[in-house]
Amino acid sequence: MSIRVVTDDSRGSQGSGFLVGDSHIVTNEHVVAGGDAYYVRFADTGWREATLVGADVYSDLAVLEVAEPSAAATPLTLAERDPAIGTEVVAIGNPFGLSGSVSAGIVSGVDRTLRSANNFSIADAIQTDAAVNPGNSGGPLVDLEGTVLGVINSGGGDNVGFAISAQLTRRVVPALVSRGTYEHSYMGVLLRSVSPLVARANDLATASGVYIDDTVEGGPAKGVLRGSDGSRVVSGTEVPTGGDVVRRLDGAPTETRQALATYLALETSPGDTIAVTVQREGREQTVDLTLGERPEP
């Protein structure tokens, strides 16, 4: 369906969405951001006013509600797990305001990370080569059975587009419907991937894992995990040293930053205490970390 957002400055925006449940419509937060009035149009209706139920900038998801959805509109179902790479998909939406457009492609990647507010990231995103353009934002990326694999987030008409995964959407949307907000888990650390240079500088046997460069003052990890306390020059590059290397969260391997972010996003909530296995001073040890909530954007 089509979505139009009206703002006081008359600029407004437009995007796409899809029905879940009896009257709730899923779209992107960036589609509705700054809006003063919201309108939706189904394929067989004119424009109808909608109400913003909730929005979450950190997942780029939002929920609208319309009092009288089209009788012909069918609520869509969100997939319970990430699709296999190569799965055939269709992107549905309104690129450049061209309502009811579809484009076809495949899932070309999973477990991607997208940029979000405050230098945080959106975990577990789906990559597709189906053409998506401005106006597709908020529309569904579906498989050939009509199951939603993701909520289209970004793309410029080339062969790389992205969608917020159905798994993350299944966690966020119910919270937006029930209380208007969603709380994301927060460790309070600054991270970097263990590159070959980081591995050499820190005498690591393999260039894998997630290196903690710093811990945020007053954050959950302060005093529990260790950030950098020095540096070394390797191949002409200054590289931080002394920080913990995260190997596992609750026993789940974290060989990449994507793996760590996905585990936090899909398996934890603020207030949970998780077991963090780190490599510190040449040996592995496990510490307990109680997660906080991400700060306001």
Q: Active-site residues: which are they?
A: 30, 60, 137
One-letter-per-residue 3-state SS of the chain: CEEEEECCCCCCEEEECEEECCCEEEECHHHHCCCCEEEEECCCCCEEEEEEEEEECCCCEEEEEECCCCCCCCCCCECCCCCCCCCEEEEEECHHHCCCEEEEEEEEEEEEEEECHHHCEEEEEEEECCCCCCCCCCCEEEECCCCEEEEEEEECCCCCEEEEEHHHHHHHHHHHHHHCCCCCEECCEEEEECCHHHHHHCCCCCCCCEEEEEECCCCCCECCECCCCEEEEECCEEEEECCCEEEEECCEECCCHHHHHHHHHHHCCCCCEEEEEEEECCEEEEEEEECEECCCC
